[in-house]
Every structure is written in structure tokens, then in C-alpha cells.
Structure 1
Amino acid sequence: MHSKKPFLGLTFCCTGVETTTRTQIMRMVESMGGVQYLDLMTDVQYLIVGSRKTQKYQFCIKNRLDIKYLTTDAIFKIHEEWLMGNDEVETLLDKYKLPVFSDISVCFSRVEVSQSQAKHLLSSSFRRATEEQFSEKMLLRQFTQNAGIAKESLSNNQDCMISADPRGTRYNKAKEWGIPVVHPVWIVDSIIRGAALDYDGYILTNDSLDLYDNGCNVWSQLSNERKRTTSRQLSKQSEEGLKKLNRGKRTEIWNSIMDHTNYENKRSVTDRTWDEESDSENNEEIEIVKPVETKSRNNLFLGFKFLLVGFTARESDLLTSGIEAFQGEITKDVSDTSMSHIIVPTNKGSEASTLLRALPSEIKSLITNGDIKIVTEFFIERCIFYKKVVLDRWGQPIKGLIHSSRKFKISTSGFTGIELLHIEKLIKFLNFEYCESFSEQRDLLILNVNLFKESFMRNLPKLFQYPNKDILNCPTYQSGQSSVSLLSAKNKIDAAKKWSIPVVSIAYLWEILDKSQYKSTLVIPKLNNSQWCIHAPINYIRPRSLIEYIKIMDGAGSNRASEEVNKEDEDAVKLPSPRKVRQKQKYGKLMGSVSPSSMRNKLMDVAKSATTSRSTIQVDDDDIVEGTGTAEDGLNYDVTNDEDLSSQVRYEDVESVMNQERLLKKLEEESPEYRRGVTANGSTVKRRKTRGQ
């Protein structure tokens, strides 16, 4: 193995990859000097794609121009070649990049685009294509050459249907089966983007003038990047041309080219050809490099000065580079009164007051007056994402971020963009487990209520009355019946009802954070509050909290009553332990006159029946006395209380035994048998009865 590690300085992230495979990939990446994140961090350079139907992939393809996509087995193959001695990491990474349409199966139906519509689509500045590329032959070739699987027939297991005409049997069947029908321009744009775009931005409409330009948010950046690449290539060509001129001892010609005043008098045929190419390209490049949109975007944080508090050195470097890229300024002086914002880490929200306590009193005063804003890195991310300054509840310190003692499994549905990433982070900061897929093992489903806003406004209006309005204002994917997000959310809600999993709005997560402020442990609010509850299972007694609900689902408890019984049992253990445990006997009513002997026998009979084989009544240390008798002797049992005697338990202590012995002795002394046994000198003879008499 080579001592040189090819992945030094490279960062990776997996999406849609099986856990076992992801663990193996992580080991190989680390062995080659790279870093693999579980989360999609801002400095991730390569996304290893196991499935395109994940939120990480969809976010990256729309918003992250800096990320490159790899196949699942790319790391395995690169690692194998590295062990064989191949250290050309750039070549290897390019060799195993994810083909644009790999594993995508589609149906081609009426894909031919009219000449007028093709011209209209090409009016978008980011599309560098020709009308010829919209012909059926060229579309099919582009798709298959990029690893796509195309068929004329339609089957219900295909990923999508590509068509330019919203008519026909196959079109109707695709709609019936819920298969997305996308415009052919999806193929062209995906190739320009370098990876398959989400279908949502290309759903076929009846509007022939639709530009379908919302499938990606980085078209302008992509165009600028392409032009910078062209400029670099031209610059390289210029350098090579200069070397050739110098080698040919024709420096005077090069000088004349650079001197525009003398150029017309000293040009030659060869020089004119080289100069016309470079001159025209350079003029074009200069016009494109400074667009108004890019300039305004780069000035996003102009006039802002930030102080970073509580971040690690690596986190500070990342934030600093991001802020300075948008004309923001970073200060390291805690006494700088000209600062406009102080940034604290989101995951240290509960410690925000502690972090700010060390600041000078003058700075604290400016914070109190509102002259200095306290924000988190979420604020920076949201501003960059929305391309404007967004100061809302998301970007402020969250003081209720306390680790939960139990790792609940939580899924989401209907969220997109920066909100999706922030929700995922908040769930993990709370020590819950964020699950991309929804299954029967999940504990909670958080739904973006804006997906069904019209319906919820009619049926569950209190969902939109939560005090933190900006928390609920989460964007959605393309709305309408054709939306993949809408259909997915409906399916998840149906599954949640079937599996008895509660469904809530994002307000529930925020209520946990609000309720836990200044608390030592995480506070879980009630699930069935109408301000966030969309569905609560009815096959159990309504729980007081999510923890109680999880206990019920796990079989740890059945309901509130059973918990109280258990609590009583625990308390009973603390009572003094009795010498012997006997069942509580019920004595009958005394009827008529009963002789002492008969009474003694009946009492002993009752004692015998109560103690059974488990215990006996101790009269003294040596003798065991058992009474015999029948109901004819005058003992009548009280049957007014039909309570089961076996459920009655009493404790027998020393005093109760002594009282019982005294009673039996008294009855014995009063009996005729006792009197006949008295001798002249006053001695007595006790008559012993044994078993069987």
C-alpha cells in the first residue's frame, strides 16, 4: 500500500445507501485519508448516491453546484485500484462518477418537440443546445448514452414517461398509475446539470410556452461557471500562443497585437486569425463576468459585521469563508461596538446565556437595546438560501435544545429546501433519531401542513393559530394532484393511521423546544393539542405525553390506572414484612346459645379452613390443635358479603397470636371437660387431641 493517501482533503456523504454498505464505505474513505459525514454538511464535495429518491439528493441537485455524484460501488473500486498502486484520484473519481440517467427506466411517447416550442425553450440563457437536440432521435440517443433505459411500451414499474403531448392512451394510463409524465426538455437540462433532475419541475402541462426553468436553482451559477471555464481555456490557449510566438522569434508581432494603435499596420494573416478568435471571446467574457444579479447576490452581507462565539476552529473557518464570500465582515474583538450580529452555535442553544455572559457590559447593553442581534448559523444558511436577509425564529438561539433520554424515531413529510435540513438537525440535536423513510417502527410523523392548507383551514383551523407563525410558513414542493410530495404525504398519513402512529405539525417540535427552556430535562407536551395534532390513534387511552405513548406502544404500560397500581405495589414493599402471611378469615354471626366446647371447636374449625395446608394456628410450642364441628352446633356463616376471601390478606403479629391463645385458653378452662380434670391438689390435665380423633 502506498503511504500517500489519495483522499486527503476530500469530504464525502452517502444518501440512500444501506447501513452496512455505508459503514464499509466510511472505513475505506478514512483509510484513504478522506472524511465522510453522516449529515449533508456545507463542505461536502462528493455525494455517494444509492437512491435518487432521497431528500439529500433532491436538495443537492437543486441547490449545490459544488457537489459531484458517485455510484455506490465507486469507493470500493477506487480503494481496490489504490491498493494496486493507482494514485490518480481525480481520474478515478471521474471514472466512477454517477451516470446522469443510470438505472432510470422510462417510456418514450410522442417526444418530438415542435420547432417553435424548441426555439422558445432555447430562449433561456442557461440552455446551450440546438433545435436538433430536441428531435426524437437525438433525445433517445442522449438518454441511452448516459445509461438510461428507454422503451416505447409503458409498464407500471417505470420511473417516468417522457412526452411532449398530453394526450393518448399511454399518457392516460400513466396518469392512472401515478407515473410522472415529464417534458423532453428534462433530458436536455439533466445533461447540462450533470445529474438527473427531479421530475417535479418538468411535469408536462398544456402550456406550450412553459419554459420549464424551475427544475434547478443554480442555472445562473452554472452558466457563470461554464463561462469561467471557457475563459480559463482561452487564457491557456493565449499562453500557448505566446510561447509559440516567442519560440518563433516573433516578439514584435506579439507586441503589436497588444498595442491596438499599431496593430493595423503590423498584422499578418497568421496573427489576424489568432487575434480575431481571442479578441471576440475576451469581449464576450468581459460582458458576462459582471452580471447585475451576481453582484447583488454577492453583496448580501455588505455592511454586516459578525462576531463568532462558541464555535470550533474548523466551524469558524467555514462560517468566515461563507460570510466573506457575500461581502460580510468578521471581527474577533469582543469589545467592538460596531458589530451588528453575534453568532452562536444552534446546538448550544441552552447554553447561549452562558456563552454571552463573558462579553463586556457595553456589548451586553447593545444586545439588550437590540442594536446587536443574536443569531445562529441557521441565520447565515437561510439568508444564503433565500438570497436575502431573513431574520426569523429559525435563525435565533433555541434555548430548549436539551438531549432526550430516549431516542424516539421521527420521520417528516412535505418539507423541502433549507427547512428540511434544519428540521433534521434539530431532531438530531434533541437526541432523537431522524428517519428518512417511514415505516411501522417510527414513533412520530411531522407533516408540513401547507401541503393541505386549504383542507386544513376548513377542518383543522387551529393548526394555523400557533403563535410562532414563521415556523409554520414552510415552503412545499409543486402543489397539485400531480405533485410527488403530495401523493407521498397522503400515503404516509394513511400508513400512520394504519400503524397507530401520531401525525403532528412542525409546531409540536417547536413546542418541545419552547417548553424545555430553562429546564434541566426535556419537556414533552401533550400530543392531542389541536394546535399541532393532525392524527392521534384512538386504540388507546389518550396519553399525557409522547413518552407515555411510547410506553404504551412498547407494552411497558397499558394505561394510567395500571401505572397507579404499580406505584401502590412499589409502596407496599416498604411496609414491615410480617412473620407469616395468612388469609384473612371471616367469622360468622353467633346464633342462640352455644356451649363453650362447641364454640371452641367451631373457632378451631374456622381457623383450620382459613389457614389450609399453608399455615397452622400455633397454640403453644409443642401442640397442634384442630377443631371439628358442623353447622348443627349453632354456627351460622354470614353470607351478606360475597367478597372472595382469597383476596383478603392480613398480617399476623405477636400480639394477635397472644390474644388468640388467651381466648382459646379461656374457652378451654370454662368447658366441663376441663372442670372434671381438676385434681384435689389443684393441678390440671390438658386433654390433647390428635389428628384423626
Structure 2
Amino acid sequence: MSKPFQGLTFCCTGIQSSQRHEVADKIVALGGTHYTDLMSSVTYLVVGSRNTEKYRYSVRYRHDVTFLSVSTILDAHARWTAGDDVSAALLRVQLPLFSSFVVCVARVDRPSSEEVSRLFGERFRTPPRDAIPPHALKDAFSAQDIVSVLAHHGAKVSSTLTPACNVIVGTDAAGRRFTMAQQWGIPAVHPLWIYDSCLRGAALDLDDYRVSTSGTNLYNNASFVWKKLYALRVQRAAQTAPDDEPQRIDKTALKKSSHIWSSIMDRTRSHTARLVRDSTWDDASEDEEETPVLLNSSKTKAGTSSSATIKEAATSTLFLGLKFLAVGFSIPQQKVLQRVVDSHQGEIAEGADDETITHILLLVRNGPQANLMLSMLPSAMKRRINSKEVAVVTDWFIERSIFYNRICLDSWCKPLQGLVPSATRYKVCISGFTGVELLHIEKLIGYLNLEFCDVLNANRDLLIININLFKPAFIKNSPKLFEYKHKDILHCPVYQNGDDSKSVSMISAKNKISAAKKWGIPIVSVAYLWEMIERSTNKANLQVPDILDLSWCIFAPQTMARPTTLLDYVRKMSNNFSTQTPSEGTEDVQVQLPSPRKAKNKLKYGRLAGGGESLTEKLKNAREDNEDTLQKGPDDTHDSDDMPTQVGYENQDSLHDKQELMRKLEGPERATKRRRKVT
């Protein structure tokens, strides 16, 4: 008896470990191949729970994956062991669209005609007739149709909200049910979640359809496989068309398929050594269309040149003998990578257990997760990586090798684990770079959450220049610029156009340097950018090194007019940062408090007797002593032999003033006593 799953590949997700082993054994017994990881060759995903990364990824990016329930595999195995004829057609019984969902249908209001036109202006919501699956939702804003479709596809529908519900559907987030749903942690989604899920053939991620009150959400980010999915359905509809109308259906299918597939395959061109933008590893946009080739006499020369380029690319042996294992690439990115590597005689491995793999290929932006991704590889592969049998590179290895037409294993191609975002979005300009370095530096600035600016003005925070543009002068005046530890980073080519001193690149760089000095903008080499990345390894945010280090500093202003520049940020990062070299012997001096003792060189004056008495007390005591002296008589008085040194003049006014002063100091009782004694 033939095995019904012969040649089919499966993967499980959201299933308990014990049951997963049982399902895997039954798949193998039925002739299928079971993978623990979701490989690109997997076409059937056995789903136990939708709340997994494998399911979300497949719904979003894999149009060729069919979703099955565990019961489908168990039923097929039971029939086969009982001797029944089990065909692969059984696998067309897919996972019920909304199984395990308990849905509360709340208030569904029909929006305005303008909003309906805007929502259904998305092309994927108006597929070809042959691409519409059966039992799809016809009216997205009819509560009755919504309830009917949900029930047909396996959901339990309720008009009342209970804690048992796991989703609530409605157009307005206001109301008691939505308030309670928020308290219970039940997601509230737009009715388009049901409409789009029916078109997709699988329940889409709820987070992409959360009810928005802004009115600008188009709910169009749940899946990116609509074009390929519809093309596949149209193709199947054409193959299964009835015989009585072959011409009409074939014609319609050909028209739809031709249009869609031409748009899908519009990137299957030759990959020559050219600059590739950020969309290099992305799939073709839905709005792109193939430009028709006009075979006119005027185009003969261009066509000949293009044919020669294609022939040259097809015969390239740049990657001959190399086999890459792509880790972390999406399905569209893998397809683009496959075409590029194939055009240069390289190979792409289908699994990590391939012993002929020579390179592990990661995405540059996944540098901080490189160790985590590599730890998920089989033990044999990790041993080969540790023993240097297998090199770990990024997608920039492919780009740089093609650009320079040689294998590049420099620092640009290694995983950048310090590629973390900056806490502050500084504005950065560059000058003097060309070729693939220009592209990669621009990407690095974006990955670090810095703002790349094409134009230099006074509001910029940093200028990075290619020091090779002024290499003779820098070697003479600033040789440390070329002594950075990663010297291959500094080997950036220079665009030359005639005389070096008169080239456009040279003149532009000189003008930018002059302007940067005038505006107080720091000027550094690309080594400063690389040092940021290296110091930020295993850090949460970007670490900014000392900008005054001569290994990368070309110019740094001593005083900053603007308080929000990169230099200020460096000062905050380092407590001992200074823009000038401290002089020898300079130390932090604490504030010295004055000594309570008198200084030696202070002039000495006579002091009043009596110790620590107030002036009032001293005057009172002096007056009492004087009165006692007067009472004792002439025996207690003596004339001073000292000659007066000054002559005083006394009048009635001065005597009166003295008496008033004494009266105030003595008080009324003392003054009365004194007057009595005098009398």
C-alpha cells in the first residue's frame, strides 16, 4: 500500500510535547517529512494553537502553507492503518477558519461612504472572482452576515460578553461591553478582521485589527501574500474548470494570471555589480509593474548591451564552491537571495544539517540577536562554527563581494552586535564616500536611530568624512587617523573624476569641512561610527565614545554655542570629560573655611577690658567705676603725666548729645539715680 503523505513536508506549532511526538511519528509513518523548525520547504503546518510565532509568520508571509488541525493527521493515520484508501485530498480539509474562537458580536455600524471607499480601496480586498474562497463574508458591516459566517467557520458566537469570550467584534470602541472587554483583557477588533480572514483562508493576527478611534487605520498590515495567494487560486481554478466552458475560463484565467505573475516576477532580472537600496531583500511591491520591452530598431543597441550583461552575470563563478545557510530571512528575502547566489554559481542550503555549508548568512539589522540565532542551530553546526570551518557573515557579504567582484571577508561583513538604537536622534552628514560604502554607512546611521541628512547646515550634530580623500595631508598632520584598530573600515574608495584637487568630491568635502568649522560641528572619520557600534555590544542604548580621541577626531570645537549637540551628550556620558588637556598639578581644591584664630600679620589694637561683654555693659560698668571714684575723693585720683596729643573743643550741643546718649544707655532708673547723686 502506497503511503499517502509521500513527498509532503510538515511542521507542528502550538502542540504539547507528548502529542507533538505522536503527530510527528504518524506523519513519518504516512510517508511525510516532519521538521521541527518552519523551513522554507514546509507546505503543511499542523496547528494546535494560533498564538505562536510560526502561525503568525506563516499567515503573514507564507502563501504556500496549508493549515491543518491535529485531528486531520490522526484521522488520516487511523484510516490508513484500517486499510482504507487515504489520498492526499484529505489534506484539503483545512483547519476551520475560526475554530477555538468564542466571539461576541457587539455594535456594528456601517461607516460613511467615504470611509468605505477608503477601506476597500486596498487592492487585496477586491480580488478576482476566481480567487474568492467559498463562504466568504460578503458584507463586512452586516451583523447578521458576520454571525452566520463565524458560525459556519467553527466559531462560537455570543451576543453577550462573558469572560469566556476571547474576542469582541465591533466598529465603535465605546460602550459598556468594550469597557468590560478592556478590563478582562479581551481584544476588540474591527469587522474587517473577519472579512480579511475569509479572503486569506486563515484567522489573521488580532493585533492588526484592533479597533482604532482615529479613523485613519486601513487595517492592511496583517498579511503580505495577497498577490501570490490570489494568483495560485486563479491558477487552480483554471486547472479544475469544467469542460463545457474551457475557452472562456482559460481566457479569463490567463488574463488574471498574466497580470499578477508579471508583477510578482518583475524582479527576476540579472543582478550585476550595482548599488542595492534598502529594498534589496524585500519582495516586489504590489504597485510595481513590469515595463514592456520594445523590440524596435532604436533599442537594438541597448538590448545587445543588456543581453551581454545578463550573459556575463549568468557565467559568473564568484560564489562557486560556497553554500550558504540563511538564518532569519523572510520567504521573499530567501527567494531574492536564491536568485542572486544562483546567478554567481553559489548554493543555498535547505537545512542546517547539511555538512557542505560554508557560510551562515544573517541579516545586518539582526546583529544584536546573532548569538541567540546561532544558539538555535544544531550542535554539529555550532562545533563547525567554533572551529572556524563555517564562517558567519551578513547579507553585506553578498553585496560587497558582488560590488568588488571578489570574496570580501572584512569587518563590514561580520555581525554587528552593537547595532543598538541611540537614545537621542542626532543629525549626521557624510562626505567623500562612494560605492557600496556610501550605501552601507547610510544604512548604519539609520540602524543606530540617528538621522541621516543629505544637506549640511548649522543644525547638524556630526560630519563624517572619508579621510582617504585627503590622505597625504592627514598622514602628515594627523597620522593617528590611519592607526585605528579596524583598518579595513578606513579603506573606503574615493570617487575620482580627473584631477584629484579639482574633483567634485574633493571640492564638496572641503566646503563642508569649512562650513562645519564655522558652525562648530564636530568632524570625524568613519572609525568613530564603528567605535560606537563596538562599545555598544550587549548594551541597551548606543554608547558614544570620546569625540576628542585623535584616532577619529578631525575637528572638535572647544566651546559649543548650542547646548543640545553631540559634544554635550558626550560630556553627560563621562564625568571627567573636558575639551582641553588639564595642566599638571591641577587638582580639585576644596573650599577652605577661615581660621578662628587671628592672622599673624594682622595689626594689633588695644581691646576693652572685661572679656566677652557687650558694648552697653562695658559703658555701664565704666560709668559706675567713674561714680565710685568721685565718691572716694581726691585720694583716689591722680593726674596723668602724659601730655595730650590732641586738642578738643567742647560746646553745649556736644554736652547735651553726650547726656542723651548716656541716658538712653543707662535707662530711666539709672539716670534718675545719677541726677540725685549729682544734686
TM-score normalized with structure 2 length: 0.44
TM-score normalized with structure 1 length: 0.43
